[in-house]
Structure 1
Amino acid sequence: MYGCEISNRLRDTDTKRSNATKHNKSPEPPNDSRSKSNGILDGTDASTREEVVEEIYPTPVPETALWPESEWMGLTDLIGLDSTNMFDQEFSGGLESIAIETPNFDFSTSNWLPDFCFAMSPQQNSWLDLGIAGQIQPPCINSDSSMRLLKCWFDEVCPAWSGFDSKSNLNRKTAEGLWQSSPPVFAALQSMSASFLSARLPQMRHSAMNLLKTATLSVQAEIQELNEKNVLDEMPTGIIFALICLGTTICWLDTRRVGWPFLQEAKTLLRWSSQQQFAADADKLDFFNKSLTYWDMLISFIYDPEPGTDTHQVSALPSTFQRSGSLHTYSQSPYEAEPHPWTGVSLLSTTLLARSIRLCRLYRHRANDRTLHSPSTAPEIEQAKELEVDLLQLQLSPRPSLNDTGDQRTPATQLLHVAESYQLASLLQLYIQFPSLLVPHSQLVLRDPGEQEITALWHKRIIPLSLRLIEVLEQIPSESGSCAIQPLLYICAATGLRYTPTLPLDTESNSISGGSQVKPRPMESILDYLDLLKDPLEHSKEEADPLSVSQMALDVSKGRAFILRRLSVFKECLHPAPIEVAERFTKELWAAYDEAPRWSMDVCWISLMEKKDLRTLFG
């Protein structure tokens, strides 16, 4: 486990505290020319200062506050606040709807935080020099508590939030470089840790909500400052990273929330940064663009695209984005040699899944609104054909030359399996939603196949494709660090695991409804009594397919069991709340499949997700 371990945390702490008490002094607030409070509060008495502070940082009105009233509180003080209604509604109008400002803090002007360092890696390399003098934290937050939360982030949260973890993990490297200098990142990491721990320590839920508020206010304040300047002197790396940290983990506190306004703010800042053409920040732009693409893909899976959305445009940056000062354009290749903690070794496979899901949802929405006299074909079908070609042409083998992840639990080959799984999942979703793609190509015109033909296509093509996806997932060990980017793949595989009839339709019809009905006879034995335990649906199935279980049915049952086992493992190593939603959804979907009339393919996972509202960030 990579991360941090406090050393010498209490060194000289008692001495410092006793000295502070003896001299009746507290740590001085940092000098920051950007902070509104510094210039106003200097040279004022205590009463005047309280009035000014109240004017600058007014107390929120309880009826309209999104979070509990307290803005800066210690962790122990936050426990007990009523925050149960914190997430009754998603943020409306973006982050600017939260009008309270948060002070700015310069982490380089004081020596407040206790020294601590991080555990050595197996190579005995220290990744962070956290004993540097001059590190502080926002006032009124207990220093030891903040350090414990930061330690938790590097120890537990970062590995559970990334597809691999080592010195090469850009999530970790970015946090290391920013937590000391960026107030939003400093607050965001603590917020993430508290949210993560709240799954094991329910009493921390209130603290986590307040820390989320604090971090959001810090981000909003810096965004407001950038908007007022109307020009970027440098890339706002800290703000973008904090937005990603908060937006992708808000579902840990409320699974219904996917951080949409955080994503939009991050996209806006990233595009703004790309327009400034900061040559030295090309790698950062690339890193953040991949992160936002992955995040957008997760949202695309659970929500219909907005009207007018270009299903081809997934990247937050335009396709003509210039990297560095070279003439080479930013383009997607089948794989990248340098692994990304979320998109792995293939951004293209992530992008194609996002495009496939968007298209499926768009087509399903159009199909639901289609009138009886409207044509059965739609422009989405042609786009599906193009996507199918792109996916079939995606070559991830023979094994490309990839850089080592540095994570013994997650070698690059496992990320290659993840990329292949995304490819198979994309094809699976296209075939489920557009079964006409599986009709022999000798038929020049795509048509909607009949119900019996669709069932045959499921039996011959769709279910085997789902089982192939499961075979690839089985090659990834359950202890792999890539589990953070796998849950969506298991849900995709689950959508293709349904039992199909094995008897011809006319045979089944004759056996069930044809001919004279057999009149019930009186019970004559214990076996007759046991027959009463069967429901009519099960009874009809047994008559149609007596005492026979196909090999495919066995394979489907094994595949379902494997998915549930892996999801149970994920609940142990990831935040359990989103995984529990994934479990409920897969079970609801399979129950709907199994309870549907035989030969009926009417059950659609998209419609079921909408009906049951079982959605969150599955990754």
Structure 2
Amino acid sequence: MNPFRTTVSRLWNSSPLLYKTLSSMAAASLVNDFPQLTALGKHLRKEAIEMLDKGSGPDQDLLLAMLMLGGSASWHNPRDLGLPFFNRARRKLASMSTAVFEQHGVDYHFFHQSMTYWEMLLSYVAENDELNASIDEHAFSQGCTTLHFVPHPWTGFARDTQHAVQKVGRLIRKQRKMAFSHRFTSLSHIKQLEKDLAAASELEQYLCSLSHPVETTVLDTEDRNTPVWHLLTLAEAYRSTGLIQLYHIFPDLLDHRLVREGLLNPDLNEEHGPDSPSASCQLRKDWLTSYAVQALNLMKSIPLESGTRDFQPFILVSLSSELRMSSPPVDIHDSGPGASMADQMAGFTSQTIEVSRMRHFIKSRLNSFLYTLPPRPIHVCLDIVNETWRIMDERARSCEDVYWMDVMIQNGWETTMA
């Protein structure tokens, strides 16, 4: 059922390019247990790239090699995003018609959906001008409706959701980079913010309206480690992740949702800034924390050995900055010997306990991935998560906002989280 695995298994023995590529990926996956494979993996990768640059071989082999060499670049060097391979694959696909693919027995839609997932990951860690533009969505959608019910190895049943989350990533990263570079506000800055807010609103509406297929209407994966419900659960987690990023960076969107749901009185909502000490600010943060916990409970329901584990690190990292620990009203260190146990336990609310559990879940799952996935990008994921929580806890008594992407950008920790 997995066309990627099936195709590669069929071709690797007869394709020196794919053989070298797979060998380099295997070596990079084993460096935790066998550090001596580091140099071998890089050497095999170099040889594979040289073969690819010669451009000889069937288009299917070349495209598969671009996907694998680009997607595994961070396995060898966590700061290498494989951008040249992404752009090269996109240009290659754009230059070929559907008829050409069919003539050579290549699955056109398989490769385009693979690019959808890859672009989603890159949109959060690379600048917009570094990524070649997406293909025309209308052209991509034609003839693909039935494929929505056949799981793709990288997008599962979440092709449209991942495409929307990719757009969220491009918008959010552009906004955060602009926030870092603009010390002063200008009219053009304000106009850009208004434009971004309008785009964010459209994406929110789209993500909220998306529907995923029900289990009885889709084909079985025929993979006992990855039943259909794992993929459908992951699709819902992607949706929640995209919405949470929008609500965190564009709090007005969340205010509108809270008003619609009767949780916020619009007459009392006077302060909109993420660092505002107002009641609406606290309501936002509590709602986001609760929503993130729900999404993480979905992730927790998927067993560790699931074949979806390759696609989980991005979601886990993206939700980390919503796990806020409540600050106790009394500073235990300054409260003196007269402080009662009730004072000292005041910060341990049910939400605090749930947040602590979910932090433990994220860390334990990422730590487990160090032994089941290529370890170098996972180490960076752990760095982002741990530093985000350290800063959050340090600032818990203030209303200062902390966002995982800001932490990643400031430390230069961009990596492909897969």
1:586 Cα offset (Å): 0.4
Q: 8 Å contact 2:385–2:404 — kept in the other structure?
A: no
With normalisation by structure 2, the TM-score equals: 0.86
Report the equivalent of 1:201.
34
Q: Are positions 1:605 and 2:417 aligned together? A: no
Tell me: CA distance 1:253–1:497, structure 2 relative to 1, closer, same or farther (3 Å).
Answer: same
Equivalents in 2 of 1:356, 1:544: separation in Å? 43
Equivalents in 1 of 2:202, 2:368: separation in Å? 37
Tell me: CA distance 1:500–1:597, structure 2 relative to 1, closer, same or farther (3 Å).
Answer: closer
Q: 8 Å contact 1:248–1:295 — kept in the other structure?
A: yes
Q: Are positions 1:367 and 2:192 aligned together? A: no
Q: 8 Å contact 2:292–2:322 — kept in the other structure?
A: yes
Instruction: Calculate the aligned-residue CA RMSD, in Å.
Output: 3.2
Report the equivalent of 2:368.
569
Q: Are positions 1:271 and 2:104 aligned together? A: no
1:349 Cα offset (Å): 1.4
Report the equivalent of 1:321.
139
Deviations 1:272-305 (A, max 9, x none): 1237644446861111111112111111122332
Q: 8 Å contact 2:325–2:396 — kept in the other structure?
A: no
1:544 Cα offset (Å): 12
Report the equivalent of 1:452.
277
Equivalents in 1 of 2:76, 2:367: separation in Å? 19
Tell me: CA distance 1:300–1:542, structure 2 relative to 1, closer, same or farther (3 Å).
Answer: farther
Report the equivalent of 1:255.
78
1:184 Cα offset (Å): 1.7
1:538 Cα offset (Å): 12
Q: Are positions 1:300 and 2:116 aligned together? A: no
Q: 8 Å contact 2:285–2:322 — kept in the other structure?
A: no
1:347 Cα offset (Å): 0.5
Q: How does 1:13-162 map to 2 (within 5 A)?
A: none
Tell me: CA distance 1:367–1:400, structure 2 relative to 1, closer, same or farther (3 Å).
Answer: farther
Q: Are positions 1:547 and 2:345 aligned together? A: yes
% identical aligned pairs: 27
Q: How does 1:168-183 map to 2 (within 5 A)?
A: 168-183=1-16
Q: Which amino acid aligns with 1:483?
A: R
Equivalents in 2 of 1:537, 1:289: separation in Å? 60
Q: Are positions 1:345 and 2:157 aligned together? A: yes
Deviations 1:72-107 (A, max 9, x none): xxxxxxxxxxxxxxxxxxxxxxxxxxxxxxxxxxxx
Deviations 1:206-253 (A, max 9, x none): 21111111100000001xx69xxxxxxxx7111110111111112111
Tell me: CA distance 1:277–1:475, structure 2 relative to 1, closer, same or farther (3 Å).
Answer: same
Equivalents in 2 of 1:538, 1:277: separation in Å? 77
Q: 8 Å contact 1:478–1:566 — kept in the other structure?
A: yes
* Partner secondary structure for residue 336 of structure 1: helix
Deviations 1:20-76 (A, max 9, x none): xxxxxxxxxxxxxxxxxxxxxxxxxxxxxxxxxxxxxxxxxxxxxxxxxxxxxxxxx
Equivalents in 2 of 1:290, 1:542: separation in Å? 59
Tell me: CA distance 1:187–1:557, structure 2 relative to 1, closer, same or farther (3 Å).
Answer: same
Q: 8 Å contact 1:300–1:358 — kept in the other structure?
A: yes
Equivalents in 1 of 2:38, 2:5: separation in Å? 25
Q: Which amino acid aligns with 1:239?
A: L
Higher relative contact order (CA 8 A, sep 6+): 2
Q: 8 Å contact 1:332–1:348 — kept in the other structure?
A: no
Q: Which amino acid aligns with 2:287?
A: R
Report the equivalent of 2:263.
none
Q: 8 Å contact 1:359–1:380 — kept in the other structure?
A: yes
Equivalents in 1 of 2:211, 2:59: separation in Å? 36
Report the equivalent of 2:221.
405
Report the equivalent of 1:462.
288
* Partner secondary structure for residue 149 of structure 2: coil
Q: Which amino acid aligns with 1:321?
A: A
Computing the radius of gyration from Cα coordinates, the structure with the larger value is 1
Equivalents in 2 of 1:413, 1:420: separation in Å? 11
- Of Structure 1 and Structure 2, the greater helix share is in 2
For structure 1, the residue ranges without an aligned partner over 5 or more in a row are 1-167, 227-234, 323-327, 504-510, 513-530
Equivalents in 1 of 2:391, 2:124: separation in Å? 20
Report the equivalent of 2:314.
488
With normalisation by structure 1, the TM-score equals: 0.60
Which of these residues, 194, 201, 208, is aligned with residue 378 of structure 1?
Answer: 194
Q: Which amino acid aligns with 2:51?
A: S
